[in-house]
Amino acid sequence: MSADFASTADLTDKTITFDAIGPDLYAFTAEGDPNSGVIVGDDGVMVIDAQATPVMARQVIERVAKVTDKPIKYVLLTHYHAVRVLGASAYAGAEILASAATRALIAERGKADMDSEIGRFPGCFALSKAFPA
């Protein structure tokens, strides 16, 4: 008998935190994953990694609005994993940035990776309560 992948058995609600980690630097995390970084610049904000779903991304957006009135201008996707990129559509008006390699991997592996990560991290995707239309 094999044990479940650690994340598949973890369906508990996760505490979300949004902590200042330096001047104009913030960390959004749901007990370790998924994470987003936030950098508040002179005239706008960059979010690093979009979150797993648009619903979860809106939680990041809401917290950013509590610390600055500057717009989120950029969302940097560090790699192709679904828990990092699927929330990008929630950042209306922001420029989505990614390396050419990351963009290619999203195009190549996006659907398969989404299906895999929903299976591997059901608690993460349950937190979102679905992908709204």
Would you say how long the chain is, in residues?
133
Is the pLDDT confidence value at 117 over 50?
Answer: yes
In a domain, 85, yes or no: yes
In a domain, 30, yes or no: yes
Is the pLDDT confidence value at 128 over 80?
Answer: no
Q: What is the DSSP letter of 94?
A: P
In a domain, 6, yes or no: no
Token couple for 31 = 């007990």
pLDDT, tens digit, 9 for 90 and up, residues 87-114: 899 999 999 999 999 988 888 877 777 7
Q: Which of 16, 117, 12 is nearest to 60 (CA)?
A: 16
What is the domain extent for residue 120? 16-124
The model's pTM is 0.80
3-state secondary structure of 73: strand
Q: Please tell me which residue, 71 or 55, carries the higher pLDDT value.
A: 71
Domain harbouring 91, CATH code: 3.60.15.10
In a domain, 26, yes or no: yes
Q: How far is CA 1 from CA 4, 36, 41, in A?
A: 10, 36, 52
Q: How many domains does the structure of the chain reveal?
A: 1
- pLDDT computed for residue 9 by the predictor: 57
pLDDT band, very low/low/confident/very high, at 7 (cuts 50, 70, 90)? low
